Structure 1
Amino acid sequence: MTFPTLLTRLDALLQQRRPAYYATLNPPATAAELAAFEAEFGLMLPAELRLWFGWHDGQRGFESFVQNNCLQSLSSAADTMRVNRELLEDGDFVANWWQPGWVPFLENGGGDHVCVDLSGTFTGHAGQVLEHWHDWEARPVLFPDLTAWLTAVVQAYEMAGEGGEELPDESVEEMELEHPAGFPQEFEAG
């Protein structure tokens, strides 16, 4: 299934099963905002990530979108990247604590992120989805790409709300995403 089709399905699921949460979603990031982000960080965002931020540019508040993560806005992602870039340039990190090609799109409100890795750290596979912990060395590669991740999210939402009822926040925080064969792959900074 294509990424745009998955986004359309997710949008409908959120409107049907989490209408109060859906109301907290921000409007889409504009083409100008996406271009400014790319220019600042010297990155070319993959089409899927541009579509992601162009669907909804984060959310208001920290209510969970999936598991214990909320949608990170483009401006919040930029803030995260600026801080980590500065710390990296100052030599405050061990190897692979942070990389300039990691673009966060989910956050837990405590300094931890799920990122699209544009440089393919650890595996050489650019576009993989990895987890960044601010105070822990684990850097698992969760999914091979954003489409595989979104497929798992849509499937989890469909399974959690099979009866058509609204989903309580607790069920979203406890959702388990089905990983493709061979994932997650465990790596550590340092």
Structure 2
Amino acid sequence: MKPMLNDLMKLIKDKRPDLAEALLPGLSIKDFEGFNTDIPADLRVLWAWCNGQSQSFYGNFHSKTNEMLMPLEVSLEVREELNELQESGDIPPDNWNYDWFPFTENGGGNYMCLSQKTSEIFYYDKYGASTGQKFGSFDSWLKDLYDGYEAL
């Protein structure tokens, strides 16, 4: 996965220099230790490569899904909020899963999430209309991301 991420960064710098400037430095092992939660291995690699994009930059990270890459801290806050909303009954049980870990967002309250149990990628739609599996694995999501930059 790391070689593909390095190649992806080259594509981003070449085709989206504005985004390249807005990407945040990756997290270190010590940074990860500061978060008292289990972070899925694929997302650890992603956030070690790049810890999201500046929250003041609203350009898309994923050119096909029109989503921004969330920093780990924001992801954890969103996940906790969605878990609490489901516990309180404000989110139907068929629209959010405690197992999901959000990592991209569209800016409108919808997220792409990694299932910690299956490693599949699910889309969370706050209205429930489009919630469901979008990619069979993190690797297939990453390939889709990479292919989108190659096509630019």
* Same-fold status (TM-score > 0.5): yes
- From the two aligned structures, give the one with the greater strand fraction: 2
TM-score by length of 2: 0.89
Give the equivalent residue in structure 2 for 1:54.
48
Q: What's the CA shift string for 1:15-54, capped at 9, x where partnerless?
A: 11111210000111232333344x34xx3512x2111011
Partner of residue 133, structure 2: 141
Corresponding residue number in structure 2 for 1:188: none
* Structure 1: tracts of 5 or more residues without a match: 120-125, 161-190
Task: Please give the per-residue CA displacement for 1:53-93, whole angstroms capped at 9, x wherever unaligned.
Answer: 11111111221112320111101101101111111222222
Give a deviation string over 1:112-157, Cα, whole Å, max 9, x none. 10011113xxxxxx10011001123432211111111111211221
Structure scoring higher RCO (CA < 8 A, sep ≥ 6) equals: 1
Instruction: Look up the match of 2:148.
Output: 156
Runs of 4+ aligned residues of structure 1 deviating over 4 Å after TM superposition are none
Give aligned-pair identity as a percent. 25
- Please state if 1:15 is matched with 2:21: no
Question: For residues 157 and 80 of structure 1, what CA distance do their matches in structure 2 show?
Answer: 27
Give the SS at the match of 2:140. helix
Q: TM-score under structure 1 normalisation?
A: 0.72
For 1:39-188, what aligned pairs fall within 5 Å after superposition? 39-40=36-37, 43-46=38-41, 48-60=42-54, 61-66=57-62, 67-119=65-117, 126-160=118-152
- 1:159 is displaced (CA, Å) by 2.0
Considering only CA atoms, is the larger Rg found in Structure 1 or Structure 2? 1
Aligned pair count?
Answer: 148
Instruction: Find the aligned partners of 2:98 and 2:30 in 1 and give their Cα distance.
Output: 21
Say whether the 8 Å CA contact 2:86–2:93 is kept in structure 1: no
What is the rounded CA distance, in whole Å, between the counterparts of 1:34 and 1:99 in structure 2? 23
